[in-house]
Amino acid sequence: MRNGAFPGQTALLRLLTLTFAAAICLTAGLAFIDLIGGNRPGWLDWVRTILLVLTGFWLVWGSMTGIIGSFAPKRRPRGDLKRPEGKTAVLVPIYNEDPYETFSRIAAMNRQIVARGLADRFHFAILSDTTSLEVAAEEANAFEWLMREPDAPGRVFYRRRERNVGRKAGNIEDFVARSGGAYDYAIILDADSLMEADAMVAMARSMDLDKDLGLLQTVPVVIGARTTFGRMMAFSSAYYSKYFSRGAALLQGNQGPYWGHNAIVRVRAFASCCGLPVLSGKPPYGGHILSHDYVEAALLARGGWKVVVDPEIAGSYEQGPENLIEYAKRDRRWCQGNLQHRRLLAAPGLKFWSRFTFLQGIMAYVVSPLWLLLLVASLGASLVPDNGGDRWGVSPWAIAAGVAVTLLLPKFAILLRGAFDGTNRLFGGWRVIPSVFAEILLSTIIAPALLAFQSRAVFQILFGFDGGWPATERDARSVSLRTAFEASWWITIVAIGAIAFMAMAGPDFLPWLLPVAVPALLAPVIIWASSLGEEQADKAWLYAAPSELAPTPIIAEADAILVQWRSHDPVGVTAMDSVGIHAPA
């Protein structure tokens, strides 16, 4: 099998990794119950041990993915750079977002495609679900600018739906139903996506060369970050993701992921397999599926198509949240979408690994309230007299040490691998070392607030609160201290209550609570402070990434086009509710 393990090797690697993760967690659980309960463990000891094993398994599993990826050999990217045989539509769904930023990126991608003489192979379709009339007017004006680009008329299309049924998935489904017959493949982007022409060509050629390939997912790198939080996330994306994705690719084989953007699909396969059900009942449990991408990948795999991730395809970019509030807002939607997947775990015909991916996505959020319950149970156990090893506060420190080792091992393994494969040189050489340690420190400080946001999201969904699909404020950067306080005051109140309770009921155990409680207490300050740094971003050397140190031509091109467009008053139409996207057959 080209660029991957054989099916038998993939199954064996899955079995070994799952067995190892389970063995580690069960061993840790037995050691923990012996430590805290001795020969006569109580019910609270068993509760904490079960919670530790459940949460620990997914922690170890994620760590193993990174470690496997850090040892995995680098493979050549799929496809090649020959002229594609098939015809590709580049789809850009948008929803109440800044059209000038999105359309300028499309203009940059179009210029590269045209310069390579591939205008007849790649068309662009902007699929708007915008509900704001003001933003819709801006989209129409930005499209007028876009029409001035080389070979744009007849190749670059725009349409706005009056009713955004099914949200993004419904938007793409609508295009496939109306115009999909004109294309062999579709590259699906987000409003903040940017992709090199070489990456698009390699993706299309992968489809040409492998007729069983239904979906090919790239690993996008976050660019354009300006704040401390945003640059930390961008550094993590650029430095760690490639290795974690290599490990995931080996485990997933041909039943890989789809993240909803920066991927190419075979239109025929997508049309025949990916009709999404509308779940019975009302949101958040029912209605349209929010995390549609995981489901579409599972349906393609069920239909016998390969679904593959290729972390070696370079030139795939996106933007990310610039502050923790925006991150939490996006995470809330993902949480609701992933929890919907519990209704699909037993869907007929799905591959085992598709079901496991659903379960993994569910546990990515459920594990946060489970950690919170473990913390509460440990607080309660600390107040029980003669409770074995807990009299000396051993178990909390043992848990903390185990979590730290599990989280840090893959990052240090990647740091070591990067020193030998040349990756560290791309990140500024020695500067990558303080960047890794700064990322570890900042992510640790942010972790209690993130755990609180995710736990609240899970509890809201369990109690039937629908979070909907809020528009993403991709240009939202620094936030005021007041805004941060309004978003996280409740975290501070909970932290104050926990500290006060322990100070009165169990002061001996207060020291091990403080590393979690103090960052939670300071959540508004941390959110505000981590959203700063925009003015110094150009001079900052911490979290330096290749996109900053040596920007690729398309990044510079997109920025230059945006500056040019913003420096002039928009011209064009005053309203353009519908511009045809129907391409010639």
Q: How far apart are CA 149 and CA 196, in angstroms?
A: 17
Domain chopping of the chain, boundaries: 7-74+361-530, 88-323+553-566
pLDDT in the model for residue 580: 41
pLDDT in the model for residue 334: 93
User: Can you say whether residue 135 is alpha, beta or left, with left for phi > 0 and alpha for psi between -120 and 50 degrees?
Assistant: alpha
pLDDT in the model for residue 327: 95
User: Can you say whether residue 333 is alpha, beta or left, with left for phi > 0 and alpha for psi between -120 and 50 degrees?
Assistant: alpha
Report yes or no on whether pTM surpasses 0.85. yes
Residues in CB range of 26: below 8 A, 6 or more apart: 53
pLDDT in the model for residue 536: 64
Cβ atoms of 7 and 1 closer than 8 Å: yes
pLDDT beneath 50: ranges in the chain: 1-4, 388-389, 391-392, 569-585
Q: How far apart are CA 198 and CA 217, in angstroms?
A: 15
pLDDT in the model for residue 581: 42
pLDDT in the model for residue 248: 94
Q: How far apart are CA 347 and CA 292, in angstroms?
A: 15
- Residues recorded for the chain: 585
Fold of 88-323+553-566: Spore Coat Polysaccharide Biosynthesis Protein SpsA; Chain A (3.90.550)
pLDDT in the model for residue 288: 87
The per-type count for the chain, helices as H runs and strands as E runs, is 20, 10
537-544's contacts with Cβ under 8 Å and 24+ in sequence apart are: 537/225, 537/226, 537/227, 537/231, 540/231, 541/428, 541/431, 542/231, 542/431, 542/434, 542/435, 542/438, 543/231, 543/232, 543/234, 543/235, 543/435, 543/438, 543/439, 544/235, 544/427, 544/428, 544/431, 544/435
Cα 335 to chain center, whole Å? 12
pLDDT in the model for residue 378: 79
pLDDT in the model for residue 285: 86
Q: How far apart are CA 45 and CA 380, in angstroms?
A: 10
Cross-strand bridge partners of residue 157: 125
